[in-house]
Structure 1
């Protein structure tokens, strides 16, 4: 062999791209399909790198045999992983399929042990384009094993693709996965060389082609999850281009036209999809901003329009209950009380919507005071919810630190934030109670703890509860009238005072702990534009 063929050098970027796609996909998707795909990409990457070192060792038989036996390990693991991925992707979970899958992994273990023996491969076959170990008796079983599971996987994917007539998106996904595995199947031709049949190693092109098709299937068709397509494509292009640093100086000069053309097409395709996805991201961002702006304007206008009639309903119903229009009988008292309570709830909701609207527009006015007492605010908030707490038979304890100083803040916004937290604690605590603690954490920071013995928060909900219009699963079952705005508003108001709001919980049924840190002096202006980033909950 005069020099290593150009396609062999493509195994280096291919292995990196394949493994990168596998790792990145699993980090984003975190499901069984992505985990199997990750193991498959690891096996393929090791197989690719092993083949590169095998070809680099041509002429030294001992090293060729070493590298070939080593790369047979990931090579043997690939068929059952392909088959496993296919079963999961096609949702085939019959007892027969499970048995067949178990047998495939058992055969893989046996073949891995056999592959390291002389009766599997031995000696070296050198030919014009490279070298390979020579197949022995044990290798025949490996060849049958590979063709059986690879062909079976492709057949399953084909039938699944043809059967997905009702879901065009899933059908398109399946088509590109099918194409990727069909391209990958040509790698099985490497087995022929083990039987002393010289073939130009074009079959190794199936690895970068597989990487390209699977990358497209993932970023364009969302096979696993909608991930950051631009990141994947950018890394793929950088890996392919940086491969030139690994090529000997004369490799590209001596490479045949088909090899250079294939490499050019790979980079061109990745660049095309990068530009396409970039334009899509810009368009999507513009559309999201437009919809968000219209939504905020609608909420603001609607809320302002609702405040006047709601104020009238609350005012007149309250006056009727107090007897300003004459004495009312017992039969009228209950519905009037209900009307009054409902109007109060609606006014609170309208005020919350207005707060969200102002937050999302990034414009708020602060009425700053130099002498805001946190202890005084907490006592007022406790007074507001005491009746509800007593009605439920739960306690509220306040352990105040008299030494904490007054702070510079917008008293109304700090009170609203703390009230939202204490009110939530009362709403979602069925027995036991709430303990509120204040203390001076450092010379310039005040620390507030609100601990309850309520329903707790599931681990998956800990981050979600601070998003607008989002609530934990347990909260939705206990109090159906909640809007999911209270914690969103509280967190943003506190952070605008240069403070922090954190939550912790050991799980459902184990209570919650909300911790607030507020600086004694917040460096904020009375009128300020905020550039906030809001995560939208799509669940």
Structure 2
């Protein structure tokens, strides 16, 4: 019985019920006013106000306006609560994903450690297990860093230490690191710069956070590009800023999601063959890092299965700096 009546507690049902109640109240109030209009007019005539044909509607009009404000406020509260409910559900889902991502590398590390303890492994096998264990710990460390930096950038942005950074060199290092890991599964192409141009790509920034920015964007490009796909990256010199681009020919993004993907915990639900896990914090951290460097980040895509390009624009140092 309780399950059948559960729909009565749904926010939409409550909103509809509240609107009906307000409507009935307005009807009763207006009817009462019409029945007592003569008494109200007598009361108004006691005040030194010139009598008009519309004077008897003054109180009614004011009441209707106030009631309209109440209805608008009620609707805004409803929208706010619905949004809060969606955010809570989204955070629960992301927490589940983060927990899963934490468990996966931990399970692998434990498996390799137990194997080396319980079996007499050869030297080659031992090196192989230790290499995989190291990769899993790096993966675990990266996830932890993402969560910590997400919180730090929101609470204390003044703690960042900036220095002179060669953006082209830093991006190239990040690109080569990802290329070494996935070169057998993807094609990688970096836009090379002439030697005399490299000095023009300096910015004032935090190397550690900028590395995380490019690592996240490159990992996303790999993650959402199928085997055999291409990942491209490069640095372009503009008039007053430096533009970094990271391009893939993967699953793409619908245009209505292009701005939303940078929101905290936001993930696009796709019907992919393989479900891609994620914390929902990667692009939010990217946006936070770019904002801290007073830059811009945006994505461009022609739609599903048409790839995506992420652009990062940062203020470049003058030649005299």
**Which of residues 373, 389, 410 in structure 1 aligns to 2:166?**
373
Deviation, 1:398, is 1.0
1:37-72 deviations in whole A, cap 9, x for unaligned? xxxxxxxxxxxxxxxxxxxxxxxxxxxxxxxxxxxx
Matched residues in 1 for 2:218 and 2:178: separation?
Answer: 8
Rate the CA distance shift 1:272–1:484 in 2: closer, same or farther, 3 A.
closer
**Which of residues 56, 59, 70 in structure 2 aligns to 1:261?**
59
Matched residues in 1 for 2:248 and 2:73: separation?
Answer: 51
Deviation, 1:471, is 2.2
**Which of residues 329, 348, 352 in structure 1 aligns to 2:146?**
352
Instruction: Check the 8 A contact 1:395/1:432 in 2, yes or no.
Output: yes
Instruction: Check the 8 A contact 1:466/1:487 in 2, yes or no.
Output: yes
* Structure 1 equivalent of residue 238 of structure 2: 441
**Which of residues 213, 223, 238 in structure 2 aligns to 1:417?**
213
- The alignment status of 1:398 with 2:190, answered yes or no, reads yes
* Structure 2 equivalent of residue 34 of structure 1: none
Matched residues in 1 for 2:220 and 2:137: separation?
Answer: 19
Rate the CA distance shift 1:424–1:264 in 2: closer, same or farther, 3 A.
closer
- The alignment status of 1:481 with 2:274, answered yes or no, reads no
Instruction: Check the 8 A contact 1:420/1:487 in 2, yes or no.
Output: yes
Deviation, 1:176, is 5.3
From the CA coordinates, give the structure whose radius of gyration is larger.
1
Instruction: Check the 8 A contact 1:455/1:510 in 2, yes or no.
Output: yes
Greater RCO, CA 8 A, separation 6+ = 2
**Which of residues 511, 518, 525 in structure 1 aligns to 2:307?**
511
Deviation, 1:276, is 8.4
Deviation, 1:407, is 1.9
Give the secondary structure class of the aligned counterpart of 2:211.
helix
1:296-335 deviations in whole A, cap 9, x for unaligned? xxx9xxxxxx9xxx99x97xx79x98x9xx9647887777
Deviation, 1:385, is 0.9
* Structure 2 equivalent of residue 471 of structure 1: 267
Instruction: Check the 8 A contact 1:464/1:470 in 2, yes or no.
Output: yes
Equivalent residue runs for 1:203-352 within 5 Å: 253-255=52-54, 257=56, 259-270=57-68, 328=122, 339-352=133-146
Q: Which runs of 5+ in 1 are unaligned?
A: 1-163, 186-201, 206-248, 300-305, 523-539
Instruction: Check the 8 A contact 1:494/1:500 in 2, yes or no.
Output: yes
Rate the CA distance shift 1:456–1:328 in 2: closer, same or farther, 3 A.
same
Instruction: Check the 8 A contact 1:409/1:521 in 2, yes or no.
Output: no
* Structure 2 equivalent of residue 494 of structure 1: 290
Matched residues in 1 for 2:13 and 2:263: separation?
Answer: 34
Matched residues in 2 for 1:347 and 1:408: separation?
Answer: 26
Instruction: Check the 8 A contact 1:400/1:439 in 2, yes or no.
Output: no
Instruction: Check the 8 A contact 1:503/1:512 in 2, yes or no.
Output: yes
- The alignment status of 1:428 with 2:224, answered yes or no, reads yes
Matched residues in 1 for 2:272 and 2:281: separation?
Answer: 13
Rate the CA distance shift 1:261–1:375 in 2: closer, same or farther, 3 A.
closer
Give the secondary structure class of the aligned counterpart of 2:169.
helix
Query: Which protein is richer in helix relative to its size?
Result: 1
Deviation, 1:473, is 2.5
Give the secondary structure class of the aligned counterpart of 1:380.
helix
Matched residues in 2 for 1:175 and 1:327: separation?
Answer: 70
Q: Which runs of 5+ in 2 are unaligned?
A: 34-48, 96-101
Give the secondary structure class of the aligned counterpart of 1:397.
strand
Deviation, 1:461, is 2.2
TM-score, reference length from structure 2:
0.66
Give the secondary structure class of the aligned counterpart of 1:391.
coil
Matched residues in 2 for 1:461 and 1:399: separation?
Answer: 28
1:330-354 deviations in whole A, cap 9, x for unaligned? 8877776665443332211111010
Rate the CA distance shift 1:331–1:518 in 2: closer, same or farther, 3 A.
closer
Give the secondary structure class of the aligned counterpart of 1:346.
helix
Deviation, 1:268, is 3.9
Matched residues in 2 for 1:336 and 1:475: separation?
Answer: 36
Deviation, 1:472, is 2.4
Instruction: Check the 8 A contact 1:436/1:450 in 2, yes or no.
Output: yes
Deviation, 1:260, is 2.7
